């Protein structure tokens, strides 16, 4: 049982407002977004970097295990406590300041507890936005720790591209504050230490602040759902759009029929935009955006898109069967409802894969055939970021499956992804309790050995739910 | 004196073609691009990754110091041997294959000895290009090791953004080959080890291959030299252009009068494009590019630029005094001749600074006043990448200065850069013998300590000309 004296020791640092230990209140910190939940000793919510430092120093000095947590919207069990009741949840959700925009530098300095939506609300007054975009509303610190990709990666890249600097508290008995919160776009004057804290799930240190590059907000947007004439047309379609639309192209998202059907069935308020409601085998959500206003004589972006779409039909072998231009909000609502729609339709066995985009269609065809033969009760309900090679290869089982069934499915899919395609089992959700065993199995020993050596050079104790490996 | 037996040991691995030891031939490997030269024991030129591995294993096992070298175009003494005659130069210039384009993935797998110009020649057949652009013609491996920025960073970013994967030989007695040469745009399945080898001057390992993201080549280009109405107009000008030109904006390069004057004086074939040859106090090279062909009804990029420029004049307080639209090649030739022009006009004391771009003008004004007062014989001949905060703050002295004079100048400039502005002493040239003392002086102990711990976790012996610090 957890020593109650430690609760007092921590409360002396953060005050009573900084502690959550009541049964009702604490659940939100214990339950994750996808089937992961545990039991926390208690939750500590420091309000400043100095408090984070003091809390970490206390926890490390007393050998208390802890899990950093941002918005707790992650999908791989990175931010929830395990079932032991021994782990303290270190929530960063009170680090909601600063939000300091440097307009001329086109950057913002932002506390790690700030939500993505809050940041973008603040930025709209400047005509800017933060371009890493996704369905959930995570905190900035969580986005750094998971190296979030999102739906517009194709144009803007993921977190690693936007992060110019971070402030981090290291897990040592001093709670050392590492200030790398620079607003420089370029700095080759030393080892770029901030890279360690991006995409490592908090295991190298606790991000308390970030400096992010910003982009000018889109002023025009044109969106369409298009239906490739067949699977082989998907990649030529992407290449054609990159060639004809250049930087206007901001999203090229693929959605399978299974994913669409289940989402429309289970989420009542969505409108099915297809003619007669007939859902095609595969659809692409295509978005063009322009951050600058067209000059007199220039085409409006909608007119531009119409011309582009018409050219896709106007070929000897058309690349598309159908194209629906619709309100951007409506189409994105469908896209961002898929995760919820699938979860409502059964038990989701989720894969967050990344491949060379040149391999996507071949992989999909191959693996669907294998799964259909070996696991006939599974519905393949994939969707994903075709433009960057990301694929949320989600499978739905009618009920909660046996663990051994899930293991067999995982092995079947990942053996192909990793061994045949050199793909990744974690494209953008990073690392946590849910994929520890997968990491242990698929990561070459040399990489595990180097990673743990580096981690040990930075942090003195393990943090959170993921171990990079054991020292050789 | 160097043990000649080692020459035979190495020749047994690479053959006689792989060794350079003749006095005449060896000089090109011993003399760097900026005042740095030394004396090599000999040069070894492996032709394959396997040979690199065997050579490194031999060198490490026998305790022989070595310096990796790409195109030897670097500016900080990173690739030339010291004066001891004991260092072996490990040239990667024979690793000129593969060059394998994956068109659908929009990537290329490329040997580290391939020159930038060779790569772009190969890519032109695909309508693609590699967007990190600069005056010199380095090898890809050298560009990875120095994290090259270049003149179009504003739009495309530097090397770190383009590198999807690397193959590296580690400096251990086995010459371990670390294969991270993936073509994935996203991979959060492990610590992103490739980051260590970008911008660290070869000190963490020897890059033998890279996988790079490519961009579609520009199809239209429009270029102008514009003269801001005064120093305070530079940043509003940049903000206005970002707002009105969006992703068309591919370069925003500032050039001082001193740099222009000396370059026109010393490089005979350049055309002075200014009216009556009168050089303004500061000029901006502005470039717009478009990778897609305008659709029917859309403005040509030159017409677009004319409209943008005309709006800059058409204000109560115009942002510009003058604007010259000229052939892109002519203007870039001037830009890329500056380094040579200054070198021909005296002894250059060079600074490769990076600041928040919001600080650039204030810094420049402040430091010029200080230098004018304290060092009246120095001419400030700066130029740089205003759009990304980079500034080649180059000072020209009429003759070769005393070392103590150079030291005083360096301290005067860098104290302001680092302590007052939080800027960087190495924006894009990375680290080598020339800036070791600067690193030692200006880098906080904590960062040095962490960096050397990480380095020691990756590599067993020091490589090349830069030490990240001593273990605490």
Give the model confidence (pLDDT) of B52-97 as tens digits: 999 999 999 999 999 999 999 999 999 999 999 999 999 999 999 9
Indicate the Cα dihedral angle B78, B82, B88, B92, nearest 10°: 20
Q: Would you call B146 and A188 a contact, using CB atoms and an 8 Å cutoff?
A: yes
B-chain residues near A126 (CB < 8 A): none
Interface test with A, best of B161, B188, B212, B352 (most A CBs within 10 A): B188
Q: How large is the average pLDDT for residues B108-120?
A: 98
Q: Which residues of chain B from 14 to 73 reach within 8 Å of chain A, CB to CB?
A: none
Q: Would you call A186 and B428 a contact, using CB atoms and an 8 Å cutoff?
A: yes
Q: Would you call B188 and A424 a contact, using CB atoms and an 8 Å cutoff?
A: yes
Q: Would you call A189 and B304 a contact, using CB atoms and an 8 Å cutoff?
A: no
Q: Which residues of chain B from 328 to 357 reach within 8 Å of chain A, CB to CB?
A: 354-357
Q: Is B459 an 8 Å CB contact of chain A?
A: no
Q: Which residues of chain A from 279 to 298 reach within 8 Å of chain B, CB to CB?
A: 290-293, 295-298
B-chain residues near A193 (CB < 8 A): 447, 450-451, 454
Q: Which residue of B199, B244, B457 is in closest CB contact with A453?
A: B457
Q: Would you call A191 and B190 a contact, using CB atoms and an 8 Å cutoff?
A: no
pLDDT in tens, B226-285: 999 999 999 999 999 999 999 899 999 999 999 999 999 999 889 899 999 999 999 999
Write down the mean pLDDT value for chain B: 95
Query: Could you report how far apart the first and last alpha carbons of chain A are, in Å?
Result: 33
Bridge partners, residue B349, by sequence:
B395
Q: Which chain B residue is nearest to residue A391, measuring alpha carbons?
A: B186
CA B120 to chain A, closest CA, distance in angstroms equals 18
- Determine how β-strand B383-385 pairs with β-strand B249-256: antiparallel
Q: Which residues of chain B from 176 to 195 reach within 8 Å of chain A, CB to CB?
A: 176, 178, 182-193, 195
Rounded Cα–Cα distance for residues B146 and B458 (Å): 18
Is B471 a residue whose pLDDT tops 60?
no
Q: Which residue of A102, A238, A295 is in closest CB contact with B307?
A: A295
Q: Would you call A307 and B295 a contact, using CB atoms and an 8 Å cutoff?
A: yes
Q: Would you call A356 and B184 a contact, using CB atoms and an 8 Å cutoff?
A: yes
* Residue B472 pLDDT: 41
CA A454 to chain B, closest CA, distance in angstroms equals 5
What are the start-end ranges of the E strands in B139-218? 163-169, 177-180, 206-213, 215-216
Q: Would you call B216 and A176 a contact, using CB atoms and an 8 Å cutoff?
A: no
Domains and CATH numbers, chain A: 4-91 (3.30.43.10), 99-216 (3.30.465.10), 218-341 (3.30.70.2190)
Rounded Cα–Cα distance for residues A337 and A272 (Å): 13
- H/E stretch holding B421 reads helix B421-421
CA A206 to chain B, closest CA, distance in angstroms equals 16
Rounded Cα–Cα distance for residues B48 and A35 (Å): 49
Full pLDDT tens readout for chain A, 472 residues: 567 899 999 999 999 999 999 888 999 999 998 888 999 999 999 999 999 999 999 999 999 999 999 999 999 999 999 999 999 999 999 999 999 999 999 999 999 999 999 999 999 999 999 999 998 999 999 999 999 999 999 999 999 999 999 999 999 999 999 999 999 999 999 999 999 999 999 999 999 999 999 999 999 999 999 999 999 999 999 999 999 999 899 999 999 999 999 999 999 889 899 999 999 999 999 999 999 888 887 888 999 999 999 999 999 999 999 999 989 999 999 999 999 999 999 999 999 999 999 999 999 999 999 999 999 999 999 999 999 999 999 999 999 999 999 999 999 999 999 999 999 999 999 999 999 999 999 999 999 999 999 999 999 888 999 998 754 4
Q: Which chain A residue is nearest to residue B305, measuring alpha carbons?
A: A295
Q: Which residue of A191, A304, A359 is in closest CB contact with B451?
A: A191
B222: CB partners within 8 A, 6+ apart: B287, B288, B289, B301, B302, B304, B305, B325, B328
Q: Which of A377, A362, A459, A369 is nearest to A420 (CA)?
A: A362
* Residue B1 pLDDT: 53
Residue B360 — pLDDT band, cuts 50, 70, 90? very high
**b/e map of B112-137 (b: 16 or more CB within 10 Å)?**
bbbbbebbbebbeeeebbbbbbbebe
Q: Which chain A residue is nearest to residue B467, measuring alpha carbons?
A: A190
Q: Would you call A189 and B107 a contact, using CB atoms and an 8 Å cutoff?
A: no
B-chain residues near A447 (CB < 8 A): 178, 190-191, 193
Interface test with A, best of B74, B184, B303 (most A CBs within 10 A): B184
Query: A with B: how many residue pairs have Cβ under 8 Å apart?
Result: 256
Q: Would you call B458 and A453 a contact, using CB atoms and an 8 Å cutoff?
A: yes
CA A77 to chain B, closest CA, distance in angstroms equals 14
**If 0-12 CB within 10 Å is exposed, 13-18 middle and 19+ buried, where does residue A58 land?**
buried
Interface test with A, best of B185, B198, B214, B453 (most A CBs within 10 A): B185
Q: Would you call B188 and A431 a contact, using CB atoms and an 8 Å cutoff?
A: yes
* Residue A3 pLDDT: 79
CA A119 to chain B, closest CA, distance in angstroms equals 20
A-chain residues near B103 (CB < 8 A): 239, 358
Q: Which residue of A188, A446, A456 is in closest CB contact with B429?
A: A188
Rounded Cα–Cα distance for residues A379 and A377 (Å): 7
A-chain residues near B160 (CB < 8 A): 192
A-chain residues near B182 (CB < 8 A): 422, 424
Q: Would you call A195 and B195 a contact, using CB atoms and an 8 Å cutoff?
A: yes
Q: Is B115 an 8 Å CB contact of chain A?
A: no
| B37: three-class secondary structure by DSSP | strand
* Residue B84 pLDDT: 94
Q: Which residues of chain A from 203 to 232 reach within 8 Å of chain B, CB to CB?
A: 216
* Residue A472 pLDDT: 41
CA B188 to chain A, closest CA, distance in angstroms equals 5
Q: Which residue of A149, A359, A458 is in closest CB contact with B186?
A: A149
């Amino acid at each position: 049982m957890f020593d109650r004296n430690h609760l007092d020791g921590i409360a002396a640092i953060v005050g009573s407002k900084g502690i959550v230990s009541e049964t009702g209140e604490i659940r939100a910190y214990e339950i994750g977004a996808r089937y992961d939940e545990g039991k926390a000793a208690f939750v500590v919510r420091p309000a400043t970097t100095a408090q984070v430092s003091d809390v970490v120093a206390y926890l490390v000095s007393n050998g208390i295990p802890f899990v950093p947590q941002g918005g707790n919207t992650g999908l791989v069990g990175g931010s929830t406590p395990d079932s032991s009741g021994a782990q303290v949840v270190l929530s960063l959700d009170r680090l909601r300041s600063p939000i300091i925009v440097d307009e001329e530098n086109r950057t913002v300095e932002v506390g790690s507890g700030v939500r993505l939506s809050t940041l973008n609300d603040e930025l709209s007054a400047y005509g800017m936005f933060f371009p890493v975009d996704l369905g959930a509303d995570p905190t900035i610190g969580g986005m750094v720790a998971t190296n979030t990709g999102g739906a517009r990666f194709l144009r803007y890249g993921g977190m690693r591209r936007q992060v110019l600097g971070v402030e981090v508290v290291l897990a040592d008995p001093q709670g050392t504050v590492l200030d790398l919160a620079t607003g420089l776009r370029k700095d080759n004057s030393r080892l770029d230490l901030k890279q360690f804290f991006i995409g490592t799930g908090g295991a190298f240190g606790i991000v308390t602040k970030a400096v992010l590059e910003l982009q000018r907000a889109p002023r025009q947007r044109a969106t369409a759902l298009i239906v490739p004439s067949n699977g082989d047309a998907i990649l030529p379609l992407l290449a054609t759009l990159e060639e004809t639309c250049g930087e206007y192209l901001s999203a090229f998202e693929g959605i399978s029929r299974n994913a669409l059907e289940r989402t429309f069935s289970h989420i009542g308020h969505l409108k099915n935009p297809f003619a007669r409601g007939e859902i095609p085998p595969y659809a692409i959500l295509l978005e063009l955006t322009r951050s600058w206003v067209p000059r007199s004589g220039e085409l409006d972006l909608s007119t531009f898109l119409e011309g582009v779409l018409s050219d896709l039909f106007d070929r000897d072998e058309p690349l598309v069967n159908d194209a629906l231009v619709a309100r951007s909000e409506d189409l994105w609502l469908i896209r961002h409802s898929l995760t919820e729609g699938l979860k409502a339709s059964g038990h989701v066995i989720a894969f967050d894969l990344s491949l060379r985009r040149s391999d996507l269609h071949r992989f999909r065809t191959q693996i669907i055939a294998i799964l259909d033969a070996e696991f006939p009760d599974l519905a393949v309900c994939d969707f994903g970021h075709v433009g960057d090679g990301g694929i949320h290869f989600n499978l739905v089982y009618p009920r909660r499956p046996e663990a051994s069934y899930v293991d067999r499915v995982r092995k079947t899919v990942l053996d192909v992804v990793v061994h045949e395609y050199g793909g990744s089992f974690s494209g953008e959700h990073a690392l946590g309790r849910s994929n520890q065993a997968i990491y242990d199995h698929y990561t070459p020993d040399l990489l595990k050995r180097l990673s743990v050596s580096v981690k040990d050079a930075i942090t003195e104790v393990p943090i959170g739910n993921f171990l990079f490996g054991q020292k050789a």
